[in-house]
């Protein structure tokens, strides 16, 4: 597909004008960032893996009736997606204590939570994406109460789906982040899952060893990030069992 006008560039993806009205092309970069981009590196093959893994999860959600912006994969690094009006919030679902939750509440990392906890973070890199309450969201008009109810319901359905996928692959879904956008069908508005779902946006631990298979490998200097993501893709059947990150470009074409 011919390269089109750049619409937006973020830390891990670029959005280009799509071939038809109401569409965009989402390009996955090899950049890895952590701590609000204070730590940065380029990991060869990371974008290719995230493209395929996000395609896998978005297609799976579609099959169980969860609407997403995904239309189809174009090539190794690009997807055709539906253009949506993004809600300026990150929706985080936590199943096990880790990361900022452990730091904020003094809960040991790895402690199972009594039930999945849904949190909202305001998307603003300059502010470090702060945690916000439903009261903040309603007061500042980022989303209505109905939107919030729908977002929680969507997030919990995604949690059920991802938890099952990961459990079948011997992986524990610790937590994950999604973003949600609005689309209009005539006068009717609905919310759909947008952005991406990949090891960049999930915490994934091996069920037997506790080995980390997500971006914490990069955050905490625990090894090769592409190797970790490749292992996730192999376990889920997205890549052949003998794939290595050095051979990804030929295996994922």
Give the pLDDT band (50/70/90) at residue 37. Answer: confident
**What pLDDT does residue 253 have?**
41
What average pLDDT does the structure give for the chain?
93
Q: Residues of the chain with pLDDT > 90: what percent?
A: 89
Q: Report pLDDT digits (tens) over 112-164.
A: 999 999 999 999 999 999 999 999 999 999 999 999 999 999 999 999 999 99
Give the pLDDT band (50/70/90) at residue 244. Answer: low
Give the pLDDT band (50/70/90) at residue 242. Answer: confident
DSSP string covering the chain: -----EEEE-SSEEEEE-SSTTEEEEEE--EEEETTTTEEEE-TTHHHHHHHHHHHHHHHHHHTT--BSEEEE-SSSEEEEE--EEEEEEEEEEEE--HHHHHHH-PPTTPEEEEEEEEEEE--GGGT--EE-HHHHHHTTSS-HHHHHHHHHHHHHHHHHHHHHHHHTTEEEEEEEEEEEEEEETTEEEEEEES--STTSEEEEETTT--B-STHHHHTT-S-HHHHHHHHHHHHTSS-TT--GGGHHHH--
**What pLDDT does residue 71 have?**
98
């Amino acid at each position: 597909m011919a390269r089109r006008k750049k619409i937006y560039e973020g830390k891990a993806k670029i959005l280009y004008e799509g071939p038809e009205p109401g569409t965009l092309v989402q390009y996955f970069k090899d950049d890895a960032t952590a701590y609000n981009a204070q730590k940065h590196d380029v990991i060869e093959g990371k974008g290719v893996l995230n493209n395929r893994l996000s395609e896998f999860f978005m297609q799976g959600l579609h099959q169980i009736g969860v609407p997403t912006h995904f239309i189809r994969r174009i090539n190794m690094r690009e997807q055709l997606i539906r253009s949506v009006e993004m809600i300026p919030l990150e929706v985080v679902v936590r199943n096990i204590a880790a990361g900022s939750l452990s730091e904020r509440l003094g809960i040991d990392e790895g402690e199972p939570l009594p039930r999945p906890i849904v949190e909202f973070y305001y998307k603003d890199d300059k502010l470090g994406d702060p945690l916000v309450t439903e009261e903040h969201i309603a007061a500042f008009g980022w989303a209505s109460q109905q939107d919030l109810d729908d977002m929680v319901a969507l997030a919990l359905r995604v949690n059920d789906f991802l938890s099952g996928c990961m459990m079948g692959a011997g992986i524990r879904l610790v937590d994950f982040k999604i973003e949600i956008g609005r689309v209009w069908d005539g006068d009717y508005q609905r919310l759909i899952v947008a952005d991406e779902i990949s090891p960049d946006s999930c915490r994934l631990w091996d069920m037997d060893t506790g080995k980390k298979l997500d971006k914490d490998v990069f955050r905490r200097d625990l090894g090769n990030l592409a190797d970790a993501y490749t292992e996730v893709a192999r376990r889920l059947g997205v890549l052949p069992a003998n794939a290595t990150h050095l051979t990804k470009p030929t295996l994922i074409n």
